[in-house]
């Protein structure tokens, strides 16, 4: 497997795992930024995504402290959030901005290679996530990978009392690939068969939770 295919597969598989930005907003956001803590992210792939991975003979295993999860026939991964900061824009989640890093990683195995994805990080802005990671120790770079509509997820906000942080939770947020991600994935899949995934395909549902500490808290 050549370098371009490694990075493509890395983007397709790893980037959904970086959506911790939904609760971990941006260091360079225009408004005041806070920090996130005690966070985690769970990603469950949809049936079309799982079928596509099967066609490509892809298997995935977590690298601790990440864990495998399975619910309602859907498989996925759970990650702790290592760090997060930004502005969650609680009055208008569609404008949330953030940066964050996940703990652990995962191993993707194909018939041609074993790829280790670590140092998972993401940037969120304008309902789009760009992600980067290390693939077998090499920097895979940053690229736009997934989009969503904040109103599609179940958002829960529990204000903190007595100086405690606000608890934020986004449940079952559907994510779709960007044109850039789809173009890369189509290039990889062409040697197998017609891809099942388009920019309208929901490839995963993301649930994320964390505690938001406002600036100065």
pLDDT single digits (tens) 160-170: 777 788 898 98
State residue 187's pLDDT score. 58
- CA dihedral over 207, 68, 131, 201, signed as positive or negative: negative
Query: Given a cut of 50, is residue 26 above it in pLDDT?
Result: no
Q: How far apart are the first and last CA of the chain?
A: 49
pLDDT single digits (tens) 86-117: 888 877 888 888 888 999 999 988 777 888 98
pLDDT single digits (tens) 41-70: 999 999 988 888 787 778 889 999 999 999
- The domain spans of the chain are 3-213
Query: Given a cut of 60, is residue 8 above it in pLDDT?
Result: no
Three-state secondary structure of the chain: CCHHHHHHHHHHHHHHHHHHHHCCCCCCCCCCCEEEEEEEEEEEECHHHHHHHHHCCCEEEEECCCEEEEECCEEEEEEEEEEEEEECCCCCHHHCEEEEEECCEEEEECCCCEEEEEEEEEEEECCEEEEEEEECCEECCCEEEEECCHHHCEEEEECCCCCCCEEEEEEEEEEEECHHHHHHHHHHHCCCCCCCCCCCCCCEEEEEEEEEECCCC
Structure-model confidence comparison of residues 64 and 27, the more confident one: 64
Query: Given a cut of 60, is residue 17 above it in pLDDT?
Result: no
Tokens of 71: 């619910």
């Amino acid at each position: 497997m050549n370098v371009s295919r490694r990075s493509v597969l890395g983007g397709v598989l790893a980037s959904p795992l970086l959506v911790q930005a939904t609760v971990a907003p941006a260091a360079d956001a225009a408004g005041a930024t806070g920090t996130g803590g005690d966070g985690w992210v769970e990603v469950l792939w949809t049936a079309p995504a799982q079928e596509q991975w099967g066609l490509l003979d892809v298997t995935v295993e977590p690298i601790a402290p990440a864990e495998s999860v399975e619910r309602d026939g859907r498989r996925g991964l759970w990650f702790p959030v290592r760090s997060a900061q930004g502005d969650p824009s609680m009055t208008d989640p569609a404008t949330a901005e953030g940066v964050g890093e996940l703990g652990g990683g995962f191993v993707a195995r194909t018939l041609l290679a074993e790829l280790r994805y670590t140092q998972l990080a993401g940037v969120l802005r304008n309902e789009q996530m760009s992600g980067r990671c290390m693939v077998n120790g090499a920097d895979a770079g940053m690229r736009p990978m997934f989009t969503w509509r904040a109103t599609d997820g179940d958002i829960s906000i529990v204000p903190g009392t007595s100086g405690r942080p606000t608890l934020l939770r986004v449940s079952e947020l559907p994510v779709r690939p960007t044109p850039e991600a789809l173009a890369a994935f189509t290039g990889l899949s062409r040697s197998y068969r017609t891809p099942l995934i388009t920019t309208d395909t929901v490839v995963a549902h993301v649930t994320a939770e964390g505690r938001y500490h406002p600036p100065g808290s």
